[in-house]
Copies of this chain bind each other. A is one copy, B any other.
Amino acid sequence: MADPQFRPRALLDRFNIEVISTTDPATSDLGHHAKLRADGLGERVLPTFRPDRLAYLDRPTWRADVAELAKVSGIDTTTYDGFLDALRSRRAAFVEAGARATDHGHLLADTTPMEVSAARELYSRILGGAEASETEVAAFAAHMLYQMAAMSCEDGLVMQIHPGVLRDHNSAIWKTYGSDKGYDIPVQTEFTRALRPMLDRFGTDPRFRVILFTVDETSYSRELAPIAATYPSVRLGAPWWFLDSPEGMRRFREFAVETAGFYNTSGFVDDTRAYASIPARHDLFRRVDAGYLARLVLEHRLSMDEAVETAVDLTYNLPKESYPRP
């Protein structure tokens, strides 16, 4: 690690990484990104807007985060309307810093909006110190997904939804070591009804783009591929987390492509905390995709020319095109 050629910026070149994105809380002042930009990396290392902690009323830090949001945005967040304005303002700051997307790690895919009056009342009540019920927490989280979709139509940030993981499954591990220690287990995830309010309102809006990820592969052929085939705004993200593996990647193509098509998928968008694993992961995905395309050629379902063109698009063009500059 002392060797300069293993420093993170050197590896950007060595790994041939054109663009990499961090995920940053909505309350981030994006100071690190400002420094990167000053160093000439502003087009290469981009932030991603992640407002989850503000969307879940039961997070222990929720009130502190709401206060932090006011501070970083300079907008009063003591009302629900101010809260939305502050989020809008931070999204604009992210866009200004080069962000292409937002990211939403919700338990459920529900996007049902609340009545504005109910959202205002709930927001004020919880900010005032009351405890939100489980139902209220879920309703507000769903409402926030809907609001984020609405804002994506305004500012052009691509929306990414990663639902269906029950976090901190083991309370002793969580109490001792904190979150993200491996005790996160997927649950069955419903998309067809859950996404309907959002897609009914924004799904055919040419300004909207949403990329759906899942760790419940049973939804590929039943829900996600039909949704992606139908709504022009929807793309399917690459196999994620537990499914980001040779068999998982192969099944993704087998289950999703016949209905969704290759071109309603995002191509391989890596999602890892292990920086040094990036080249190997892309190499694996390309091999699995090449294997799948080769089978289609052997079975006379694609011509060789079509397969080669598709391989290049899945590897390079589609990921790039899936996340346009706002």
Interface window among A80-88, A108-116, A254-262, A312-320? A254-262
Q: Is there an interface contact between B221 and A243, defined as CB atoms closer than 8 Å?
A: yes
- Cβ-defined contact, A223 with B259, below 8 A: no
A182 surroundings in chain B (CB, below 8 A): 230
- C-alpha spacing A254/B225, complex, angstroms: 21
The answer to whether A200 and B185 touch across the interface, beta carbons within 8 angstroms, is no
Chain B, Cβ-Cβ closest to A190 = B188
Q: What's the minimum C-beta distance from A126 to chain B, rounded to whole angstroms?
A: 25
Q: Does A216 count as interface, using CB distance less than 8 angstroms?
A: yes
Quick check: B221 and A200 within 8 Å, CB to CB? no
Given A188-B222, A242-B221, A259-B245, A200:B170 Cβ within 8 A: yes
State the number of copies, please. Answer: 3
Bitwise, A285-325 to B at CB < 8 A (1) or not (0) is 00000000000000101000000000000000000000000
Cα of A226 to Cα of B204 in the assembled complex, Å: 36
| A259–B242 CB distance below 8 A | yes
How far is A245 from B244 in the complex, measured between Cα atoms in Å? 25
Bound Cα distance A36, B243 (Å): 48
A57 at the interface (CB under 8 A from B): no
Judge whether B171 and A200 touch: CB under 8 Å.
yes
Q: State whether A187 touches B223 (Cβ < 8 A).
A: yes
Q: Give min CB distance, A306 to chain B, whole Å.
A: 16
Alpha-carbon distance A272/B245, docked complex (angstroms): 34
In the assembled complex, A98 has its CB within 8 A of some CB on chain B? no
Q: Which of A206-248 contact B (CB under 8 A)?
A: 215-218, 221-223, 225-227, 230-231, 242-243, 245-248
The 6 nearest A-B residue pairs measured at CB = A245-B258, A185-B192, A218-B218, A186-B222, A187-B192, A242-B259
Interface residues of A (CB under 8 A from B): 166, 169-173, 182-188, 190, 192-193, 196, 199-200, 203-204, 215-218, 221-223, 225-227, 230-231, 242-243, 245-248, 251, 254-255, 258-259, 299, 301
